[in-house]
Structures are given as C-alpha cells and as structure tokens.
C-alpha cells in the first residue's frame, strides 16, 4: 500500500486517495491534517531500525567484538525479520542453530507485510518456534485498535507448542518526533491499552520490545507494563543491561542487527525447555548475572564508549589521542592499566576493567574523566561543552540524565550513572 498518498491528503489533494481507494491512509490524513508530508517505508521499519539509525556512521557494534563477554544468561539463538528480508532459506537458518524467529506482521492499522506468510509458516516448517510482531505507530491509532489489527492479521496466539506470544515493537519513531507526539503518561496508557486488548483477545500478554533509552525518554521509565508483559530488550553494547524500570530480567535480548542469520540477531534467556514453556504460557527467566550492566569493548570498536575509555585511561596516566577508535595504542594502554590493577591483561574492557577505570565525579572536579562524562552526556542528547570542567551546566545535564534513567538524581557521577552513560 502506498502511504505517500496519505501525505498528499495532508496537503489537501484528497481526490488522489479517493481514486486509489485507500481508506486507512485517508482516515489518517484526516485525523492529522497538519502532519508534514513524508514518504512511508513500512517494509524497512523493523525491530531496531531506529536504534541502528542512531548508531554513528562506521561504528563497529561492541557485540561484534565481545566474543569473550561473560554476561549472557541464555544461549538459544534466534532472529527477527520483516519484509526487508525476502525469500529466506529457513532450513539453512535452522541448520545454523536458530531455535526461534519473530516475523513482522503489521504496522499501524493499515499495513501487513507481504513476506509474512512465507516467513511465519516457513520458519515453523523448518522446526523453529515462531511468533509475530507489530510495529507500533502510536500517533496513528489507539493501542486497542492496533492490537485488534495485529490479531486480525497474523498476530494471534494459540497453545499449539510452536507459537510464541505476539510482540509489541515500541521504539523510535521512523517518521518524526521520537515519542510520536505523546506525553510520557499518554504513552504508558497507549502501551497498556495495547497489552490489555491483546490479552483479552488471545489470553496472553505480548512481549514488549524496546530500548532502555527510548523507554526512559518516552514513558518516564514507567514500571507499569513490567508488571505482566515480558521484556525483549535491544542493546548492541555487549550486554542486555541496564534494563528499564519494572523488569528485573529479560526474556529475549536483541544483541545485533546483523550476523549469522538474516535480519536481527536475538538470544533467548533460557533453555530449549524454557522456550517451549514460553510458547505454552508463563515463563519466568533468570535474572542477568551480576555486573552485566557494563559493555564489553575491545580492539576494532569505535564510538563514544571507546572515547570514554580513552579519556579515563588518560585520567589514570596514559597519553592517548582521544579519537574514539580502539586501535593498537588504546589496547596497549588497556593492557598496561589492567596489569597495574591486578586484572586479567587481555586488552578487553569488560565489567571489571570498567569499574577500575571509572572515577566518581561531581561539581567542581576537572580533568579527562570529566571530559568522558561530558562526551557521553552529549551522546545521550544532553549536550554540554566538553571542556573537562564539571560546572553547573554539566551538573544540570547529569541530573536530567539520571532522572531519565530512573537513577538517583544527585548530580554525582558514580558507578550506576557511569554504567548507564557508557552502556
């Protein structure tokens, strides 16, 4: 379906939609007559598309260099796919070790994936447990209406032992304002309405897919959905944590947007028997291992976490060029630091090395560690001047960040705030 016609209606060219017979697009345009014109790209909207778009160009995902990461509870591998992936060879996917798959079924209240039947039925025929997911557009229709549309177009659930509960993909808006123009309380109400209606229609609560950053920004880090909805956390930093408020554990972790399988790469938090239990009904996954809130980063990585490592190494006496590129010089400095701290000198910055590197910072402090704080705040959309001076502006940004993450908003950058900043 061509949603560009909806934009034409927005501009007042209603004759086109009448001729094309697009009632949902026309209804959308009528409901939001001042919305800006833009192209629709539902086939490209998928779990994590917003997260990937926010990764700096050229970034090497930490998960790609985190083979030694100790913070994965489950080992069952899976994938999630959308219409962007065509003609998937499901027997090949199964032979490579996939145990489950989620397939995009719907978006909003007027899009169904053209690839859904092949992907949904094909994955099941290859022996994978499979489920469907819905890409939410909270600014186009209510949560209950979108749940109904999802169930009516492939998103239902039956206790057949091979169908996983439907998933609600609620994330960064691919068409405008991050939170779809909704207040935090309105967003929580929308999610609750979707979840409640899905439960009414199927007898199961949906698993909720999101990122910690989006959840904090757009729901105020609400704990309400976590009372009954399982969590599917997206984090490409080598660890599934930190988790949003309301969840002490996660059921699925999307840890990369490419890899062994087509589409995004996922890990189920449990065993094969646990996955089958999840398909049939309620499953309580184990909590993440202690200390798993820190990313695991090694040579080859780039980006703000590497920048923070370089600033922190300089704070401990190194003289690195801070360029965000984890090259041989940075690895050598990490090994030297680890040796000095009595840590395993492997050149990989994991939880133990992070906790040795960080320095508690507060207003009045200065130096390279403060620059690390300032650079991470800027990366998290709380821009401050990276000058190494922890003044009132930096403290204010820290408080705002801590509030958004559900942390104690004291303006002091201690271990919990550091973990949230670099994750």
Active-site residues, by number, are 80, 169, 171
DSSP one-letter string for 251-275: SEEEEESSSSSSSEEEEESS-HHHH
- Residue 320, both tokens: 């690195």
- Residue 115, both tokens: 């690839």
Determine the Cα–Cα distance for residues 111 and 356; give it in Å rounded to an integer.
50
Q: What is the DSSP letter of 24?
A: H
Phi, psi at 202, each rounded to 5°: -120, -20
H-run or E-run covering 233: strand 231-234
Determine the Cα–Cα distance for residues 38 and 30; give it in Å rounded to an integer.
15
Determine the Cα–Cα distance for residues 189 and 205; give it in Å rounded to an integer.
15
Strand partners, 107: 111, 135
Is residue 309 within 8 Å of 297, Cβ to Cβ? yes
Tell me which residue of 182, 279, 166 sits closest to 229, measured CA to CA: 166
Strand partners, 335: none
Is residue 307 within 8 Å of 108, Cβ to Cβ? no
Is residue 356 within 8 Å of 316, Cβ to Cβ? no
Tell me which residue of 173, 176, 171, 175 sits closest to 191, measured CA to CA: 171
């Amino acid at each position: 379906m061509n949603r560009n016609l909806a934009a034409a209606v927005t501009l007042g060219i209603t004759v086109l939609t009448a001729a094309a017979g697009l009632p949902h697009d026309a209804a959308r345009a009528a409901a939001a007559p001042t919305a800006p014109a833009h192209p629709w790209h539902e086939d490209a909207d998928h779990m994590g598309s917003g997260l990937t778009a926010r990764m700096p160009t050229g970034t090497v995902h930490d998960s790609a260099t985190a083979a030694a990461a100790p913070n994965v509870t489950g080992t069952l591998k899976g994938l999630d796919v959308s219409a962007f992936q065509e003609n998937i060879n499901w027997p090949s996917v199964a032979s490579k070790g996939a145990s489950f798959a989620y397939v995009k079924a719907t978006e909003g209240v007027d899009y169904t994936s053209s690839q859904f039947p092949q992907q949904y039925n094909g994955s099941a025929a290859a022996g994978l447990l499979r489920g469907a997911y819905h890409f939410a557009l909270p600014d186009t229709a209510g949560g209950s209406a979108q749940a109904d549309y999802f169930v009516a177009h492939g998103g239902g659930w039956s206790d057949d032992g091979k169908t996983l509960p439907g998933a609600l993909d609620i994330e960064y808006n691919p068409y405008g304002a991050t939170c779809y123009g909704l207040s935090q309380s309105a967003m929580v109400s929308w999610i609750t309405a979707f979840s409640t209606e899905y439960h009414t229609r199927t007898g199961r609560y949906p698993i909720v897919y999101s990122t910690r950053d989006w959840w904090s920004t757009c729901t105020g880090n609400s704990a309400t959905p976590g009372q009954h909805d399982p969590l599917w956390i997206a984090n490409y930093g080598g660890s599934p944590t930190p988790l949003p408020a309301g969840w002490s554990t996660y059921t699925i972790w999307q840890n990369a947007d490419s890899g062994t399988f087509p589409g995004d790469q996922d890990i189920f938090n449990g065993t094969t028997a646990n996955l089958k239990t999840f398909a049939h009904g309620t499953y309580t996954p184990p909590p993440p291992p202690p200390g798993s809130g820190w990313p695991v980063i090694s040579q080859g990585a780039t980006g703000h976490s590497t920048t923070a490592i370089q600033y922190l190494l300089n704070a401990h006496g190194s003289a690195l060029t801070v360029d965000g590129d984890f090259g041989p010089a940075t690895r050598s400095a990490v090994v030297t630091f680890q040796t000095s701290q009595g840590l395993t000198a492997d050149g990989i910055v994991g939880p133990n090395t992070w906790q040795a590197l960080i320095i508690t910072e507060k207003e009045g402090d200065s130096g390279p560690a403060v620059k690390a704080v300032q650079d991470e705040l800027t990366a998290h959309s709380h821009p401050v001047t990276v000058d190494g001076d922890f003044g009132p502006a930096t403290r204010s940004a820290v408080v705002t960040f801590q509030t958004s993450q559900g942390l104690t908003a004291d303006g002091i950058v201690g271990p919990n705030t550091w973990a949230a900043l670099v994750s």
